Amino acid sequence: MTNPASDHSVSCRDYVGRFAPSPTGPLHFGSLVAALGSCLDARHAGGRWLLRMEDVDAPRCVPGAADTILLQLEALGFEWDGELLWQSRRERHYHAALTRLRDKSAVYPCACTRREMADSALARDGSRRYPGTCRSGLPAGREARAWRLRTQPGVLRFVDLLQGEVSEDLERDVGDFVLLRADGLFAYQLAVVVDDAEQGVTHVVRGADLLDSTLRQIYLQQQLDYPTPQYLHLPVATNMQGEKLSKQTLARALDVTAPARTLAGALRFLGQPLPADWADASLAELWRWAIAHWDRARIPRMRAVAWPEG
Ligand code: GLU
Protein backbone atom coordinates (compact mmCIF):
# COMPACT_ATOMS: atom_id res chain seq x y z
CA MET A 1 0.00 0.00 0.00
CA THR A 2 1.38 3.41 -0.83
CA ASN A 3 1.78 5.94 1.89
CA PRO A 4 -0.66 8.80 1.32
CA ALA A 5 1.91 11.25 2.62
CA SER A 6 3.93 10.72 -0.57
CA ASP A 7 1.00 11.55 -2.85
CA HIS A 8 1.84 14.95 -4.26
CA SER A 9 -0.79 15.06 -6.95
CA VAL A 10 -1.85 18.50 -5.74
CA SER A 11 1.72 19.61 -5.29
CA CYS A 12 2.16 23.19 -4.15
CA ARG A 13 5.72 24.24 -4.79
CA ASP A 14 5.34 27.28 -2.61
CA TYR A 15 5.08 25.54 0.74
CA VAL A 16 8.17 23.93 2.25
CA GLY A 17 7.83 22.68 5.82
CA ARG A 18 10.18 20.68 8.01
CA PHE A 19 10.63 18.71 11.20
CA ALA A 20 13.96 19.20 12.94
CA PRO A 21 14.45 16.86 15.91
CA SER A 22 17.55 16.94 18.11
CA PRO A 23 18.84 13.39 18.66
CA THR A 24 19.06 13.75 22.42
CA GLY A 25 16.76 10.77 22.94
CA PRO A 26 13.91 8.91 21.24
CA LEU A 27 10.79 10.80 20.15
CA HIS A 28 8.18 11.15 22.88
CA PHE A 29 4.60 12.31 22.64
CA GLY A 30 5.64 16.00 22.63
CA SER A 31 8.03 15.61 19.70
CA LEU A 32 5.48 13.48 17.84
CA VAL A 33 3.04 16.39 18.07
CA ALA A 34 5.58 18.70 16.40
CA ALA A 35 6.36 16.09 13.72
CA LEU A 36 2.71 15.47 12.97
CA GLY A 37 1.60 19.12 13.08
CA SER A 38 4.39 20.23 10.74
CA CYS A 39 3.77 17.33 8.36
CA LEU A 40 0.00 17.72 8.18
CA ASP A 41 0.19 21.48 7.74
CA ALA A 42 2.57 20.96 4.79
CA ARG A 43 0.69 18.05 3.19
CA HIS A 44 -2.71 19.68 3.56
CA ALA A 45 -1.31 22.65 1.62
CA GLY A 46 0.09 20.27 -1.02
CA GLY A 47 3.58 21.26 0.05
CA ARG A 48 6.90 19.54 0.67
CA TRP A 49 8.00 18.32 4.10
CA LEU A 50 11.68 17.95 4.96
CA LEU A 51 13.49 16.22 7.78
CA ARG A 52 16.63 17.62 9.41
CA MET A 53 18.62 15.99 12.19
CA GLU A 54 19.74 18.77 14.52
CA ASP A 55 22.88 17.12 15.82
CA VAL A 56 25.01 20.28 15.84
CA ASP A 57 25.24 20.24 19.64
CA ALA A 58 27.35 17.07 19.70
CA PRO A 59 27.81 16.90 23.51
CA ARG A 60 24.01 16.71 23.97
CA CYS A 61 23.47 14.03 21.30
CA VAL A 62 22.88 10.49 22.49
CA PRO A 63 24.46 7.67 20.45
CA GLY A 64 21.81 5.74 18.55
CA ALA A 65 19.06 8.33 19.14
CA ALA A 66 19.01 9.55 15.52
CA ASP A 67 18.50 5.99 14.24
CA THR A 68 15.76 5.41 16.79
CA ILE A 69 13.98 8.61 15.71
CA LEU A 70 14.11 7.57 12.04
CA LEU A 71 12.73 4.11 12.85
CA GLN A 72 9.95 5.64 14.95
CA LEU A 73 8.97 8.06 12.18
CA GLU A 74 8.94 5.27 9.59
CA ALA A 75 6.89 2.98 11.81
CA LEU A 76 4.34 5.76 12.25
CA GLY A 77 4.03 6.22 8.48
CA PHE A 78 5.87 9.54 8.07
CA GLU A 79 7.52 10.13 4.69
CA TRP A 80 9.76 13.09 4.08
CA ASP A 81 10.83 14.63 0.81
CA GLY A 82 14.42 14.58 -0.38
CA GLU A 83 17.52 13.68 1.59
CA LEU A 84 17.68 13.80 5.34
CA LEU A 85 19.93 16.73 6.31
CA TRP A 86 22.48 16.28 9.13
CA GLN A 87 23.58 19.49 10.81
CA SER A 88 26.83 17.88 11.90
CA ARG A 89 27.88 17.78 8.21
CA ARG A 90 27.12 21.43 7.50
CA GLU A 91 29.82 23.22 9.41
CA ARG A 92 31.21 25.00 6.36
CA HIS A 93 27.80 26.55 5.64
CA TYR A 94 27.59 27.92 9.19
CA HIS A 95 31.14 29.12 8.88
CA ALA A 96 30.35 30.96 5.64
CA ALA A 97 27.37 32.68 7.28
CA LEU A 98 29.49 33.75 10.26
CA THR A 99 32.15 35.11 7.90
CA ARG A 100 29.53 37.18 6.10
CA LEU A 101 28.41 38.60 9.45
CA ARG A 102 32.02 39.30 10.42
CA ASP A 103 32.63 41.15 7.17
CA LYS A 104 29.84 43.58 8.03
CA SER A 105 30.82 43.82 11.72
CA ALA A 106 27.49 42.37 12.78
CA VAL A 107 29.32 39.96 15.11
CA TYR A 108 32.20 40.41 17.54
CA PRO A 109 34.48 38.18 19.60
CA CYS A 110 33.72 37.81 23.29
CA ALA A 111 36.05 36.75 26.09
CA CYS A 112 33.49 36.53 28.90
CA THR A 113 33.15 33.33 30.87
CA ARG A 114 29.88 32.03 32.27
CA ARG A 115 31.10 32.93 35.75
CA GLU A 116 31.70 36.54 34.73
CA MET A 117 28.10 36.79 33.54
CA ALA A 118 26.54 35.06 36.52
CA ASP A 119 25.07 38.34 37.83
CA SER A 120 23.37 39.45 34.61
CA ALA A 121 19.61 39.47 34.25
CA LEU A 122 17.77 36.48 32.81
CA ALA A 123 16.07 36.52 29.41
CA ARG A 124 12.55 35.06 29.02
CA ASP A 125 13.94 31.65 28.17
CA GLY A 126 16.22 31.58 31.21
CA SER A 127 19.45 32.40 29.35
CA ARG A 128 21.67 35.19 30.67
CA ARG A 129 21.24 38.61 29.15
CA TYR A 130 24.66 39.64 27.89
CA PRO A 131 25.74 42.93 29.51
CA GLY A 132 27.83 43.97 26.48
CA THR A 133 31.28 43.82 28.07
CA CYS A 134 33.19 42.97 24.85
CA ARG A 135 30.99 44.95 22.48
CA SER A 136 33.54 47.59 21.70
CA GLY A 137 36.55 45.31 21.72
CA LEU A 138 38.18 42.57 23.77
CA PRO A 139 39.59 43.74 27.11
CA ALA A 140 43.40 43.91 27.05
CA GLY A 141 45.09 40.56 27.45
CA ARG A 142 41.90 38.55 26.93
CA GLU A 143 41.25 36.08 24.15
CA ALA A 144 38.09 35.45 22.13
CA ARG A 145 36.06 32.52 23.42
CA ALA A 146 32.81 32.98 21.51
CA TRP A 147 31.31 35.16 18.78
CA ARG A 148 28.19 37.20 19.45
CA LEU A 149 25.64 38.88 17.21
CA ARG A 150 25.20 42.59 17.87
CA THR A 151 21.56 43.37 18.69
CA GLN A 152 19.91 46.77 18.22
CA PRO A 153 17.49 48.72 20.38
CA GLY A 154 13.82 48.67 19.42
CA VAL A 155 10.92 46.28 19.60
CA LEU A 156 10.75 43.51 16.98
CA ARG A 157 7.49 41.70 16.29
CA PHE A 158 6.00 38.96 14.23
CA VAL A 159 2.56 37.40 13.98
CA ASP A 160 2.50 33.69 14.75
CA LEU A 161 -0.13 31.82 12.75
CA LEU A 162 -1.54 30.32 15.95
CA GLN A 163 -0.28 32.31 18.94
CA GLY A 164 -0.81 35.78 17.45
CA GLU A 165 1.54 38.73 17.86
CA VAL A 166 4.83 38.22 19.67
CA SER A 167 7.17 41.10 20.40
CA GLU A 168 10.49 41.60 22.12
CA ASP A 169 13.24 44.17 22.42
CA LEU A 170 16.21 41.92 21.75
CA GLU A 171 18.85 44.32 22.97
CA ARG A 172 17.04 45.02 26.23
CA ASP A 173 15.65 41.54 26.91
CA VAL A 174 18.23 39.16 25.45
CA GLY A 175 21.37 41.11 24.65
CA ASP A 176 23.95 40.15 22.04
CA PHE A 177 23.65 36.40 21.66
CA VAL A 178 26.18 33.71 20.85
CA LEU A 179 26.53 32.28 17.32
CA LEU A 180 29.83 30.46 17.79
CA ARG A 181 30.21 28.93 21.23
CA ALA A 182 33.28 28.84 23.46
CA ASP A 183 33.55 25.08 22.82
CA GLY A 184 33.94 25.77 19.08
CA LEU A 185 30.45 24.56 18.13
CA PHE A 186 27.99 26.67 16.18
CA ALA A 187 24.95 27.71 18.20
CA TYR A 188 21.48 26.35 17.47
CA GLN A 189 20.26 29.86 16.51
CA LEU A 190 22.78 30.14 13.67
CA ALA A 191 22.42 26.56 12.42
CA VAL A 192 18.63 26.68 12.33
CA VAL A 193 18.53 30.00 10.46
CA VAL A 194 21.11 28.94 7.86
CA ASP A 195 19.44 25.57 7.31
CA ASP A 196 15.89 26.91 7.07
CA ALA A 197 17.06 29.44 4.49
CA GLU A 198 19.21 27.05 2.45
CA GLN A 199 16.48 24.40 2.45
CA GLY A 200 13.99 27.01 1.24
CA VAL A 201 11.70 26.50 4.24
CA THR A 202 8.64 28.73 3.98
CA HIS A 203 6.71 27.51 7.06
CA VAL A 204 8.13 26.58 10.46
CA VAL A 205 5.64 24.58 12.54
CA ARG A 206 7.14 23.57 15.90
CA GLY A 207 6.53 23.57 19.64
CA ALA A 208 5.81 26.78 21.55
CA ASP A 209 8.87 26.11 23.72
CA LEU A 210 10.79 27.68 20.81
CA LEU A 211 8.64 30.81 20.64
CA ASP A 212 11.21 32.75 22.66
CA SER A 213 13.90 31.95 20.09
CA THR A 214 11.92 33.09 17.10
CA LEU A 215 12.65 36.81 17.20
CA ARG A 216 16.36 36.03 17.55
CA GLN A 217 16.06 33.90 14.44
CA ILE A 218 14.11 36.55 12.54
CA TYR A 219 16.67 39.20 13.46
CA LEU A 220 19.47 36.92 12.32
CA GLN A 221 17.64 36.25 9.03
CA GLN A 222 17.51 40.00 8.49
CA GLN A 223 21.24 40.32 9.15
CA LEU A 224 21.94 37.58 6.59
CA ASP A 225 19.44 38.90 4.01
CA TYR A 226 17.38 35.73 4.23
CA PRO A 227 13.60 35.70 3.84
CA THR A 228 11.57 35.12 7.02
CA PRO A 229 9.32 32.05 6.96
CA GLN A 230 5.84 31.96 8.45
CA TYR A 231 5.79 30.58 11.99
CA LEU A 232 3.19 28.47 13.75
CA HIS A 233 3.98 27.43 17.31
CA LEU A 234 1.97 24.44 18.51
CA PRO A 235 1.06 23.99 22.16
CA VAL A 236 3.64 21.96 24.04
CA ALA A 237 2.48 18.77 25.75
CA THR A 238 3.13 18.74 29.47
CA ASN A 239 2.55 16.17 32.18
CA MET A 240 -0.12 16.82 34.79
CA GLN A 241 2.42 18.80 36.85
CA GLY A 242 2.81 21.23 33.94
CA GLU A 243 6.33 20.06 33.07
CA LYS A 244 7.28 19.75 29.40
CA LEU A 245 7.54 16.09 28.38
CA SER A 246 11.17 15.08 28.15
CA LYS A 247 13.58 12.44 29.29
CA GLN A 248 14.01 14.39 32.53
CA THR A 249 10.28 14.30 33.28
CA LEU A 250 10.18 10.60 32.38
CA ALA A 251 8.03 10.93 29.26
CA ARG A 252 6.73 7.55 28.18
CA ALA A 253 8.28 5.96 25.08
CA LEU A 254 6.07 6.17 21.99
CA ASP A 255 4.20 2.97 21.21
CA VAL A 256 5.04 2.36 17.56
CA THR A 257 3.62 -1.17 17.65
CA ALA A 258 0.13 0.38 17.50
CA PRO A 259 0.94 3.27 15.13
CA ALA A 260 -2.66 4.23 14.30
CA ARG A 261 -3.49 4.56 17.98
CA THR A 262 -0.37 6.60 18.65
CA LEU A 263 -1.12 8.95 15.74
CA ALA A 264 -4.73 9.25 16.87
CA GLY A 265 -3.54 10.44 20.29
CA ALA A 266 -1.44 13.20 18.70
CA LEU A 267 -4.32 14.19 16.40
CA ARG A 268 -6.60 14.49 19.41
CA PHE A 269 -4.02 16.64 21.19
CA LEU A 270 -3.98 18.93 18.15
CA GLY A 271 -7.78 19.27 18.31
CA GLN A 272 -8.25 17.45 15.00
CA PRO A 273 -11.28 15.28 14.24
CA LEU A 274 -10.94 11.52 13.93
CA PRO A 275 -13.00 9.30 11.65
CA ALA A 276 -15.71 7.47 13.60
CA ASP A 277 -14.18 4.10 12.77
CA TRP A 278 -10.55 5.09 13.21
CA ALA A 279 -9.80 2.08 15.39
CA ASP A 280 -10.49 -0.16 12.38
CA ALA A 281 -8.70 2.09 9.88
CA SER A 282 -5.33 1.19 8.43
CA LEU A 283 -2.41 3.52 9.06
CA ALA A 284 -2.59 4.69 5.42
CA GLU A 285 -6.31 5.47 5.77
CA LEU A 286 -5.73 7.43 8.94
CA TRP A 287 -3.00 9.49 7.25
CA ARG A 288 -5.23 10.18 4.26
CA TRP A 289 -8.02 11.32 6.56
CA ALA A 290 -5.72 13.44 8.71
CA ILE A 291 -4.21 15.25 5.70
CA ALA A 292 -7.61 15.92 4.15
CA HIS A 293 -9.20 17.17 7.40
CA TRP A 294 -6.27 19.13 8.88
CA ASP A 295 -7.62 22.41 10.21
CA ARG A 296 -5.34 24.97 11.87
CA ALA A 297 -8.37 26.67 13.41
CA ARG A 298 -9.00 23.62 15.61
CA ILE A 299 -5.56 23.60 17.26
CA PRO A 300 -5.78 24.83 20.89
CA ARG A 301 -4.53 28.41 20.89
CA MET A 302 -2.32 27.82 23.92
CA ARG A 303 1.37 27.53 24.63
CA ALA A 304 1.01 24.38 26.71
CA VAL A 305 -1.60 21.68 27.25
CA ALA A 306 -1.41 19.06 30.01
CA TRP A 307 -1.93 15.61 28.53
CA PRO A 308 -2.53 12.60 30.74
CA GLU A 309 -1.58 10.11 28.01
CA GLY A 310 1.80 11.75 27.38
N1 GLU B 1 15.94 20.80 17.23
C2 GLU B 1 14.98 21.55 17.98
C3 GLU B 1 14.35 20.67 19.04
O4 GLU B 1 14.32 19.45 18.88
C5 GLU B 1 13.87 22.09 17.11
C6 GLU B 1 14.32 23.22 16.30
C7 GLU B 1 13.26 23.87 15.44
O8 GLU B 1 12.24 23.25 15.14
O9 GLU B 1 13.51 24.99 15.05
O10 GLU B 1 13.89 21.19 20.02
263 and 241 in one domain?
Answer: yes
Residue 217 forms part of a structural domain: yes
Distance 124 CA to ligand 1 centre (A): 18
Rounded CA separation 207/236 (Å): 6
Is 203:232 a contact under the CB 8 Å cutoff? yes
14-68 tens-digit pLDDT: 999 999 999 999 999 999 999 999 999 999 999 999 999 999 999 999 999 999 9
Residue 308 — very low, low, confident or very high, per pLDDT cuts 50/70/90?
confident
Q: Please choose from 88, 190, 192 the residue to mutate so as to test ligand 1's pocket, defined by most ligand atoms within 8 A of CB.
A: 192
CA-wise closest residue to 184 among 213, 150, 146? 146
Rounded CA separation 63/28 (Å): 17
pLDDT for the residue 310: 62
> What's the one-letter identity of residue 99?
T
294 and 213 in one domain?
Answer: yes
Distance 153 CA to ligand 1 centre (A): 27
When mean pLDDT is compared across 97-101, 105-109, 190-194, 274-278, the lowest value belongs to 274-278
Rounded CA separation 100/280 (Å): 55
Angle between helices 188-198 and 91-103 (to 10 degrees): 100
Residue 227 forms part of a structural domain: yes
Last residue of a domain, one of 180, 213, 229: 180
Rounded CA separation 101/274 (Å): 48
Determine whether the shortest distance from the Cβ of 22 to ligand 1 is under 6 A.
yes
Q: Write out the residue range of the structural domain in which residue 21 sits.
A: 15-88+198-306
Residue 299 forms part of a structural domain: yes
pLDDT for the residue 244: 81
Q: What is the DSSP string of 146-159?
A: EEEEPP-SSEEEEE
Query: Is it the case that residue 5 has pLDDT exceeding 50?
Result: no
Give the length of the chain. 310
Is 179:190 a contact under the CB 8 Å cutoff? yes
Count of structural domains within the chain = 2
Residue 186 forms part of a structural domain: no
Residue 174 — very low, low, confident or very high, per pLDDT cuts 50/70/90?
very high
294 and 266 in one domain?
Answer: yes
278 and 292 in one domain?
Answer: yes
Determine whether the shortest distance from the Cβ of 210 to ligand 1 is under 6 A.
yes
279 and 253 in one domain?
Answer: yes
249 and 164 in one domain?
Answer: no
The closest-lying atom of ligand 1 relative to the alpha carbon of residue 196 is: 9
98-127 tens-digit pLDDT: 999 999 999 999 999 988 887 788 877 778
Q: Please choose from 28, 206, 213 the residue to mutate so as to test ligand 1's pocket, defined by most ligand atoms within 8 A of CB.
A: 206
Residue 309 — very low, low, confident or very high, per pLDDT cuts 50/70/90?
low
CA-wise closest residue to 30 among 222, 254, 226? 254
Residue 31 forms part of a structural domain: yes
Alpha helices (H) in the chain, listed in sequence order: 29-44, 65-75, 91-103, 170-173, 188-198, 211-223, 259-269, 283-293
**Does 281 or 52 have the greater pLDDT score?**
52
278 and 255 in one domain?
Answer: yes
Rounded CA separation 12/194 (Å): 23
Determine whether the shortest distance from the Cβ of 69 to ligand 1 is under 6 A.
no
Residue 237 forms part of a structural domain: yes
CATH for 292:
3.40.50.620
Residue 98 forms part of a structural domain: yes
300 and 222 in one domain?
Answer: yes
CATH for 173:
3.90.800.10
Using a 10 angstrom Cβ sphere, with 0-12 exposed, 13-18 middle and 19 or more buried, the burial of residue 270 is buried
pLDDT for the residue 147: 98
CA-wise closest residue to 197 among 38, 16, 62? 16
Last residue of a domain, one of 126, 145, 180: 180
pTM above 0.95, yes or no: no
Residue 139 forms part of a structural domain: yes
Phi, psi torsion values for 178, nearest 5 degrees? -80, 135
Is 56:23 a contact under the CB 8 Å cutoff? no
Last residue of a domain, one of 180, 209, 226: 180
Distance 280 CA to ligand 1 centre (A): 34
Is 33:19 a contact under the CB 8 Å cutoff? no
User: Distance from first CA to last CA of the chain, Å, rounded?
Assistant: 30
211 and 295 in one domain?
Answer: yes
Mean pLDDT, residues 260-274 taken together: 96
Determine whether the shortest distance from the Cβ of 39 to ligand 1 is under 6 A.
no
